[in-house]
Chain A
Amino acid sequence: MADTAQAPAAQAVATVPVVEAAGITKRFGATVALRDAKIAIDPGESHALVGRNGAGKSTLVSVLTGIQQPDTGTLSFSGKPAPAFGDTDAWRSRVACVYQRSTVIGGLTVAENLFLNRQSEGGFRPIRWKALRARAEALLAEYGVDVSPTARIADLTVEQRQFVEIARALSFGARFIILDEPTAKLDARGIERLFTKLRGLQEQGVAFLFISHHLQEVYELCTRVTVYRDARHILTAPVEGLGHDALVEAMTGESSAADPVVAAAASRRRTVGSQPVLEVRGLTLPGVYTDLSLTVQAGEVVGLAGATASGNVQLGETVAGLHRPRAGRLAVRGRTVRLGDIPAALAAGIGFVPEDRHLQGLVPERSVAENATLTVTDQLGPFGTVLPSRTRDFARRMIEDLDIKTPDAATPVSALSGGNQQKVVVARALATEPELVVAIRPTNGVDIKSKEFLLGRFRRHAEQGRAALIVSDELDDLRTCDRVVTMFHGRIAAEYPAGWTDEQLVAAMEGIAGTEHPTQPRPTDPTDPTDATETEHEHDPKGPRHGGHH
């Protein structure tokens, strides 16, 4: 699929695009983040930018907002060349960006955040707080943001905070705003209100570049869409008339007709044991996922797919005891496991491969042996002692089992390659011989050979009458699963037996799982979620992870 930019044939004749970039190339060392990329956005347009991870979206945002200088290419705003690099004020009057990460200051009031660093006319002129509040009130009213200027930002909802950020962006005079995954932290009603607001602003002539992983939102909000893939511009087209399949195809680069996925896993229908290895009933973690139920049988490798904010990672972490859900029940081999208790999860037979091996998985300066045996120190000697000889023996077995390429068991983990580091994390998870191994993005940043090996190792684990739950948004990880459950905005969206096509799965993860897919609807109906209700106020799924910092 070549450059099929049939972009602004009709419109561009009449209007000058509010922003136009062409031939943008940006390298970081050896990697090319953008290659001859382009984009053009008309005034008052709401334009979507989509692409899978690593497609170059965030680099484009940095270039458009003047944070990074492209190596080559031209950039113009409303027909005039972009301001000089580093001239913050000039950039801000042309383009504003609402980042995923909040750029307001929680301890200060709304009014002060709106006019941060311009509270008074000059550095040595006193701030007139009353006037400032009045100005803030007027600004908020102008854009219909219903927030008190005296409220502290920390006391606002995510959605209100975004409105404040948008209002601040507009107050600099910018008529072009980039929204980087603005819906990631919002619930359905919040998204609806955000969209209403954005449509209202659009009528005032504000143009948007809307970046989202949720294609449904693109269809709902945007008039045109630009697709990037592998650092390149793939296409720009009106959303209307662009089918879901064509859009997903542009993102994944696979045509939907071809590619009958190697259904290696499909053949493996196994005898279902009497007791499922994992049974999850009605789990609810407020703001993350709601009323989730899931069963994993012995011998199964189950994929749990979902985009960034779908809650799949948090569900995996909940199973491993990292979060304590508000309600629900979790059982391993029929025995209920205490929720939000990592030692209990380990004791119940749940092994865990965390999402970020650097943050949660490894003690980098310690040896391979120590890292691999971190979960089983109670088996390494009598009376709580850890005998070096037994540690070494155990570690040697793990090194052999997982084919870890290391000079020695005593080598510090930090000296290994990424793939081998990840194998050490997996070794740690498997060291307890768990009934169920929960692996979150287990092949993240891992070379292709190690990737295949690790996925094969999970398969072998399952074949020993145990099970594996692979939480990932990587299609390669999910392909080896017996079945894949997809989540969207905290709920299970669909379930596919092995043999799904990439388009089906990507569509489901992006929240446009239509009825035309051969989905099996929600698996089992949840049992009464009230039976094991636990109330707990301390959990914070987005806060620092409290697991795995051993």
Chain B
Amino acid sequence: MAAITEPGLASEAAPAAASVPRRGLNLARYRDLSLVPVLLVLALIGFIVSPAFLTSANLLGVAQQSTELSLLVLGEALILVVGKMDLSLESTIGVAPVIAMWLVLPSHGGRFQGLGALPTWTAIPVCLLVGALIGAVNGFLILKLRLNGFIVTLGALTMLRGLQVAISQGQSIVEVPNSFLYLGETSWLGAPAAVWICLLLFAVGGAALAWLRHGRALYAIGGNAEAARTAGIRVDRITWTVLIIGSVLAAFAGVLYTGHYGSVSADQGSGWIFQVFAATVIGGVSLNGGKGTLFGALTGVLTLQLVVNVMTLAGVPPLWNQFLNGLIIIVALIISRYASGEKQE
């Protein structure tokens, strides 16, 4: 973003810097844009294979389908930039709405027996609160007890999925609060509300990462936590906040998803975390922290979704989708490895 600018000419007293080929340097700086040409190529292929591709109905459909995944990616990208990892996002997207609905749905009359403990309008706030709580607990375990983040969130992934199954008794819940349905189904200015909200959240997040001190602190912490600490950055507090934001975004993705499909299935979000990581990493966010932008992560999501869309339009049997999804991840990684010239560990 703003930090990405043309490097000035290396000075006279900078022999090593001067010897770095400028071309390689520039490419490395535009690593976050490396999927843009891929997207254009995909669009071109789509245009060639089917006249239905370049219609607003199709493109809006792709955008709508991208929203839930992109919110998870937004959260995961922030968490990865700060140098952590959260696998449990894929369970949060299911368990948060289920808990919210359990608390607000009436205890009789419907197929699903809720508690009816809270008024219906609280469904969305409660859902987000559940997300925040999950993030806070993860943060506590990782930052205060100093447990391994990968395993902690792996445990949380399994545990929260189990919690959801237990509460919903393994059934899909089809009575969905109206506020969920509204967000999932309304259109604003000709596009689904979810798409607008996602774009807004990405814009806000991207701006914060580029122009706010606290946003820049994520890069500092992910790049060198010790150096960030000596610079006076409150490393643990910020990391904790980021983990909470990530889980809240996942919970919100749950709201959109539930509202869009009008139900919560017991396996909502199951297996998504692979796609989330794939989209984030091919979008240029480093698994080691300190690198990447939200714009890059967004292009990662769009790439994965467009591939599936183009293949469907081209008449490739859906049975091949999984294979192609995996292939595109590996190809995208190879491209970005050589585009940036940096080793990925």
Contacts and interface: CB of A to CB of B under 8 A. Distances in A.
Interface of A: 88-89, 92, 101-109, 112, 116-120, 122-127, 129, 146-152, 155-157, 160, 193
Contact of B223 (A108, A147, A150, A193): A108
B68 to A, nearest CB: 29
Interface string B225-242: 011101111000000000
B189 interface: no
A103 B17 contact: no
B337 interface: no
Closest 9 pairs between A and B when the two form their complex, measured CB to CB: A148-B8, A105-B223, A126-B211, A116-B231, A157-B16, A103-B227, A146-B13, A146-B11, A129-B2
B3 interface: yes
Given A89-B232, A117-B233, A151 B7 contact: yes
Contacts of B82: none
10 contacts: A105-B227, A107-B290, A118-B213, A119-B213, A119-B216, A148-B7, A148-B11, A160-B16, A160-B17, A193-B13
Given A112-B3, A116-B231, A126-B212, A155 B223 contact: no
A157 B216 contact: no
Contacts of B5: 129, 150
Interface residues of B, number: 38
Contacts of A123: 212-214
A156 B16 contact: yes
Given A105-B223, A127-B212, A147 B11 contact: yes
A92 B214 CA distance: 20
Contacts of B216: 108, 112, 116, 119, 127
Contacts of B15: 157
A385 B244 CA distance: 52
B228 A105 contact: yes
Contacts of B6: 150
Interface of B: 2-3, 5-17, 20, 25, 207, 210-214, 216-217, 219-220, 223-224, 226-228, 230-233, 290-291
Given A125-B213, A129-B211, A148-B14, 12 more contacts: A103-B226, A105-B220, A105-B228, A108-B219, A112-B216, A117-B220, A117-B232, A150-B8, A151-B7, A151-B17, A156-B17, A160-B14
B3 to A, nearest CB: 6
B7 A152 contact: yes
Contacts of B13: 146, 160, 193
A160 B11 CA distance: 11
A116 B3 contact: no
A101 B213 CA distance: 24
A103 B13 CA distance: 22
A125 B5 CA distance: 21
A106 B291 CA distance: 10
**Main DSSP-derived SS at the A contact region:** loop
A105 B223 CA distance: 6
A258 to B, nearest CB: 45
Contacts of B213: 117-120, 122-123, 125, 127
A541 to B, nearest CB: 17
Interface centre among A92, A122, A125, A160 (most CB of B within 10 A): A160
B39 to A, nearest CB: 25
A116 B215 CA distance: 11
Contact of A106 (B8, B214, B223): B223
A248 to B, nearest CB: 34
Contacts of A120: 211-213
Contacts of A126: 207, 211-212
A149 B3 CA distance: 11
A157 B14 contact: yes
Nearest to B290: A107
Nearest to A130: B2
Contacts of A160: 13-14, 16-17
Contacts of A156: 14, 16-17
Contacts of B211: 120, 126-127, 129
Contacts of B291: 107
Contacts of A112: 3, 216
A107 B11 contact: no
Contact of B10 (A89, A101, A151): A151
Contacts of B10: 148, 151
Contacts of B20: 155
A90 to B, nearest CB: 11
Contacts of A107: 219, 223, 290-291
Given A117-B217, A155-B17, A160-B17, A103 B230 contact: yes
A380 to B, nearest CB: 34
A152 B219 CA distance: 13
A150 B7 contact: yes
B224 A105 contact: yes
B295 to A, nearest CB: 16
Nearest to A104: B227
Contacts of A127: 2, 210-213, 216
B290 to A, nearest CB: 5
A145 B230 CA distance: 22
Nearest to B6: A150
Given A129-B2, A157-B15, A151 B223 contact: no
A103 B224 contact: yes
Given A107-B291, A116-B231, A126-B212, A148 B9 contact: yes
Contact of A151 (B8, B212, B231): B8
A107 B4 CA distance: 11
Nearest to A129: B2
Contacts of A105: 219-220, 223-224, 227-228, 290
A126 B212 CA distance: 5
A100 to B, nearest CB: 13
A116 B228 contact: yes
Contacts of B8: 148-151
A380 B80 CA distance: 46
Nearest to A99: B230
Among A117, A127, A146, the most chain B Cβ lie within 10 Å of the Cβ of: A117
A364 B122 CA distance: 55
Contacts of A150: 5-8
Nearest to B210: A127
Nearest to B225: A105
Given A108-B3, A117-B213, A157 B17 contact: yes
